[in-house]
Amino acid sequence: MMMKTELIRIYDPAEDAEGVLRAGDILAHGGLVAIPTETVYGLAANAYDEAAVKAVYAAKGRPSDNPMIVHIAELSALPELVTAIPENAKILAEAFWPGPLTMVLPRSSKIPLTTTGGLETVAIRMPSHPVACAVIRAAGVPLAAPSANRSGSPSPTTFRHCVDDLWGLVDAIVESDDCTVGVESTVLCFLPDGTPQVLRPGAVTPEEIQRRCGCVSVAEAVLHMLPQDAAAPSPGMKYKHYAPAATLTLLCGSREDYAARVNEYYEALQRAGEEDGFYAMCFDEDVSLLEAPTISYGVAYDYPSQAQNLFDVLRQLDKLQATEVYVHAPEPEEMGLAVYNRLLRAAAFRVVHL
C-alpha cells in the first residue's frame, strides 16, 4: 500500500531545527523516517514501539528474524537497555563511541523481542552523525534503524537511494549529505571469556579492536559461506545482500594479473559478440590497463575511499544494465575487510584467486 512520503531537509541540525522537530515528532508518534548516519542511511522507528518496528520490517521487506540496531545519542541511555556491560564493551565504547561500532549485549525488558528478531540480546550503537543525534534527541526514545534500503539491495549512502527504494512506503525521508563511511557499522558480540568477536566488519577494524582490548576474534561467516544448516551467530549473515542484477565475480590479485584476466575474457566475449553488459569494477589505477568498459570504486589500497563509493557503484551497475561484472577485490585487511565482506555477498561468494 502506498502512503504519502514527506521530504524533510536537514543539512545542519541548528539551521534546520524545524526539520529536526518534525522528524522527531513523526518518530515519537510511531512513524518511520529515513535518516542519515555516518555509515549508511537508516530507516528509523521508536525501538520501544512494536507496531512501528513491525512497519519497518514491512517497508523494507525484511525477514522478521533479522534484528535491528538500536541507536542512542548519549551513553547515559545505555544502562536501561541492557542487563550487563562487559569490561571490553566499556573500553570499546570509550574508544569508538560515538561512531561506527555496534555492540550486541544482553537485552533488558524495555526492548521488545520484535526489535531483536526474537533474540535475548540487543545490538546498540551511538552514531556520530549530528543529524542522527539531533533526531534521536528530538524523538526522545532510542531508535531502531536498519539500513534504509529494500531488503537485499545495496545499502543507501545518499538520500536519493532512500527515495529510490522507499518513496511511498515510509512517512518521511530526511534530505541530507552523502554518508562519509559508506558501509554499515562494525557489529560485534562478546564471547563467554569477554573476547570481542566481529560479526560484521566495518570502519572499526579487528586490528583496532585488538589494540584496545588485547584480543579479538572474527566470526567464520565474515569471509566464508555458512553451511546450509549452521546456526548464524548474527541472523543478517544468512541473507542475500547488496546484490545488483548482474552476476559479480571477485578477482583477487595484482593490477597486472587482474587486467590480464579481464582483457582476455573481454576479448573472448567480443569474438562471440556477447560483450554488451560486461563491466570491470576496478580501482582508479586499473582503468588505463583495461579494454572493457570500467567503473571505478576508489583508489587501490585506500579502503575508506572504496567503502565510501561501494554501494553507489553497485546501484549504478543496475542503471547501466550490467549483466556480468569482474570486480577487482581489495585485500581483506583493515577496512578492506569490510569492503571485501560486502563484495563477497554481492558476488554470492564467487571468488577467483589469480
Helix (H) or strand (E) holding 208: helix 206-213
Phi, psi of 17 (to 5 degrees): -60, -35
Partner from Mg ion, ligand AMP, none contacting 205, C-beta within 5 to 8 A by type: none
Q: 142-161: which residues touch ligand AMP (CB under 6 A)?
A: 146-147
The answer to whether residue 341 forms part of the interface with ligand AMP (CB under 6 A) is no
Rounded CA-CA distance 68/227 in Å is 24
- Quick one: 176 or 234, whose CB is closer to Mg ion? 234
Q: Which of these ranges, 23-31, 115-123, 144-152, 318-326, lies near Mg ion under the rule CB under 5 A?
A: 144-152
Sheet of 217-218, strands arranged across: 6-9, 172-175, 33-35, 42-46, 143-144, 69-71, 121-125, 101-106, 186-190, 196-200, 217-218
- Output the CA torsion sign for 201, 167, 346, 258: negative
Q: Which of 175, 184, 312, 334 binds ligand AMP (CB under 6 A)?
A: 184
Q: Which of these ranges, 78-86, 107-115, 140-148, 263-271, lies near Mg ion under the rule CB under 5 A?
A: 140-148
The answer to whether residue 158 forms part of the interface with Mg ion (CB under 5 A) is no
Q: Which of 19, 154, 235, 298 binds ligand AMP (CB under 6 A)?
A: 235
* Cβ at position 149, least distance to Mg ion in Å: 6
- Quick one: 147 or 249, whose CB is closer to Mg ion? 147
Q: Which of these ranges, 5-13, 63-71, 209-217, 270-278, lies near ligand AMP under the rule CB under 6 A?
A: 63-71
Residues 6+ apart with CB under 8 A from 308: 157, 179, 180, 181, 182, 298
Q: Which of these ranges, 118-126, 166-174, 206-214, 272-280, lies near ligand AMP under the rule CB under 6 A?
A: 118-126
Cβ proximity of 259 and 286 under 8 Å = yes
Query: Closest CB to ligand AMP belongs to which residue?
Result: 236
State the virtual CA torsion across 33, 342, 314, 176 in degrees, nearest 10: 30
Q: Which of 37, 66, 153, 341 binds ligand AMP (CB under 6 A)?
A: 66
Q: 120-139: which residues touch ligand AMP (CB under 6 A)?
A: 121-123
Cis geometry, peptide bond prior to residue 13 (ω within 30 degrees of 0): no
Would you state the cell numbers that stand for residue 232, as one nine-digit string? 548464524
3-state secondary structure of 99: coil
The answer to whether residue 104 forms part of the interface with ligand AMP (CB under 6 A) is yes
Helix (H) or strand (E) holding 33: strand 33-35
Q: Which of these ranges, 3-11, 128-136, 160-168, 229-237, lies near ligand AMP under the rule CB under 6 A?
A: 229-237
Interaction site with ligand AMP (CB under 6 A) = 66-69, 104, 116, 119, 121-123, 146-147, 184, 187, 199-200, 234-236
Positions touching Mg ion (CB under 5 A) are 147
